Amino acid sequence: MNIRKLLYAALLLGANAAFADMAEIEALKDGDMKKLMFSSEPSPAGQATFTDTEGNEVSLADYRGKVVLLNFWATWCAPCRHEMPMLDALQAEYGGDDFAVVTVATGRNKEMAIKKFFEEVGVENLPILMDPKQGLAREMGVMGLPVTVLLDREGNEIARLMGDADWSSESAMAIVSALIAEDGGA
């Protein structure tokens, strides 16, 4: 059994916070997750607001206390179409008090187009959030789509992945489990 499988098995068996340091999390990277680049030092995430379907302002501060997988995407983005069902599955599996997948449609994405997109790809567990003026995307240095940023419970960026990825892979789930455990989750 290779090291990745051993680490993944330990996580499944209820590994504690002491187990999940960053070197061990790095060792979990396999397949698409090899594109996930961890920061040497966490940096504050953007503070720009975005909106929900009711027009309410939302900010990343609203998610403090959770590990957040923040995904920037658009309805016209083919890799986003491929990736979104996997993000939805990740939210269904881990979403709750300790973790949230936050998908933000950046740029000109009409609400009806987003709803149609979600319906076509089978998204059932993600909120519709929009950044039409790309304020948050610009503040966070998003240059292309999709871009996924991992935030710790204090709202600091700890990792970034450019392009789409298989977020339903064993590697992705092991990384998310380890981050939740490391960052104080149950």
* Every domain of the chain and the residues it spans: 35-167
The strand pair at 99-106 and 67-73 is best described as: parallel
Under CATH, which number does the domain 35-167 receive? 3.40.30.10
Confidence at 146, pLDDT banded by 50, 70, 90 = very high
> How far is residue 141's CA from residue 143's CA, in Å, rounded to a whole number?
6
Average pLDDT over residues 140-156: 97
Q: What is the mean pLDDT of residues 169-177?
A: 96
> What is the spatial distance between Cα 125 and Cα 87, in angstroms, rounded to a whole number?
9
Give the relative orientation of helices 111-121 and 78-94 as an angle to the nearest 10 degrees.
70
Stated pTM of the model:
0.87
Q: How confident is the model over 15-29, as pLDDT tens digits?
A: 444 334 788 899 999
Structure tokens belonging to residue 100: 């949230």
74-121: pLDDT as tens digits: 999 999 999 999 999 999 999 999 999 999 999 999 999 999 999 999
The per-residue pLDDT for 182 is: 82
Residue 43 has pLDDT above 60, yes or no: yes
Say whether pLDDT at 11 is over 70: no
Q: How far apart are CA 119 and CA 101, in angstroms?
A: 18
| CA triple 65-167-7, angle to 5 deg | 80
Q: How much is the pLDDT for 20?
A: 44
Work out the pLDDT band at 8, boundaries 50, 70, 90.
low
Residue the block writes with tokens 């892979």 = 169
Average pLDDT, integer, range 128-155:
97
Q: Which residue has the higher pLDDT, 176 or 24?
A: 176
